[in-house]
Amino acid sequence: MHTSLCDDFGIEFPIFAFSHCRDVVAAVSRAGGMGVLGALAFTTEQLEIELRWIDDHVDGKPYGVDVVMPASSVGEGAGALDLEKMIPDAHRQFVEDTLRRFNVPPLPADVPAAAGLLAWTHDKARTQVEVALAHPIRLLANALGAPPPDVIEKAHAHGVKVAALVGNAHQAQQQVAAGTDIIVASGYEAGGHTGEVTSMVLIPEVVSAVAPRPVLAAGGIGSGRQAAAALALGAQGVWTGSIWLTAAESDTHPVVQQKLFAATSRDTVRSRSMSGKPARQLRTPWTDAWDAPDSPGALPMPLQFMVVAEAQSRMHRYCGDERTGAKDLVGTPVGQIVGSMRSARPAREIIYSIVEEYVETVARMNATLDAPVQG
């Protein structure tokens, strides 16, 4: 399993693994893939700590960092306090009423309130980029389009390639024009922010639209058969995310992990309840509440996450307490591949199983070329 991206990055397999967990990132890179750390949830100080840890545990293997610099958001350039004032009282009340209905208590007084803004804005993401480029990363990815031109230039000056996630061929062409090195075609099946075109249709459209720019396939990929299909459609590698939520090294909450093991491929929903933009996640009473007729409706990014951030913290804190309904409410971004995630396996085992099944699949397909014509 080898493409030009393996040579570009010095990796053994063209398997890119997005994860917010540093242990997963390091384990994937050590196993021959390319771990990519999702930086969104970290403060500048926390990100520095995480990247130092990866530097010390990746055995010199390449890894990347993913930031969120949305093409559009409200209040761009405004401070957190100004953004807070833009959140309607009706939305705050809706959150509290929903939590109260499921008997989810407030956070203890000695537990700091959750940070609702995180790095959803360009200003905060830029500080993360500065931190990331001070480390030996090989890839800088943006989850919501291409980073601004000056960020791309700065990454290139550090010898770092830039990737951008897209949901259609037009977006892909825009990212190429902006100077992005790698396009990640993220199909409808994917977890987190994703578009409306399925992977089977999207991947060849994007490959044709941006050739010879390399394309990574994302959305519904967690096995060697799916990786083989992606490469058959013209991709130079695969961008995986959901499957790492149940890796043995993952820091996914045990309650959430059990819900993932029990879920089918029909138990996800593409909802604006998380960030204000459509993002596929585990379907729960929480996502249902935001889609109900009495919902005030999701706010634009980044206001939606700001209004639900503390609620998410409360759900995770109390989801193991059977006296509350937090277990029902708690969820996570995840793709339709969740229906195949049935047990916790080490990251190395996941990588090798993808490669082994890929080899078997290609061999089986090659055999069809020599099959006698029937009739």
For β-strands 161-166 and 139-142, DSSP reports them as: parallel
Whether residue 198 contacts residue 188, with contact meaning beta carbons closer than 8 Å, is answered with yes
H or E element, residue 122: helix 122-133
Structure tokens at 248: 């043995």
pLDDT tens per residue, range 59-111: 999 999 999 887 655 555 556 667 888 999 999 999 999 999 999 999 998 88
53 has a pLDDT exceeding 60: yes
Under DSSP, the state recorded for 37 is E
β partners of residue 65: 37, 140
β partners of residue 185: 166, 217
Whether residue 78 contacts residue 154, with contact meaning beta carbons closer than 8 Å, is answered with no
What's the pTM value of the predicted model, to 2 decimals?
Answer: 0.93
For β-strands 182-186 and 139-142, DSSP reports them as: unpaired
pLDDT tens per residue, range 265-311: 999 999 999 999 999 999 999 999 999 999 999 999 889 999 999 99
Residue whose pair of structure tokens reads 């401070």 in the numeric block = 79
Q: What is the pLDDT of residue 84?
A: 86
Whether residue 221 contacts residue 308, with contact meaning beta carbons closer than 8 Å, is answered with no
For β-strands 139-142 and 63-67, DSSP reports them as: parallel
Cα 33 to Cα 45, 53, 227, distances in angstroms:
27, 18, 13
Whether residue 36 contacts residue 18, with contact meaning beta carbons closer than 8 Å, is answered with yes
Structure tokens at 361: 């699949």
Phi/psi for 31 (5° steps) reads -85, 0
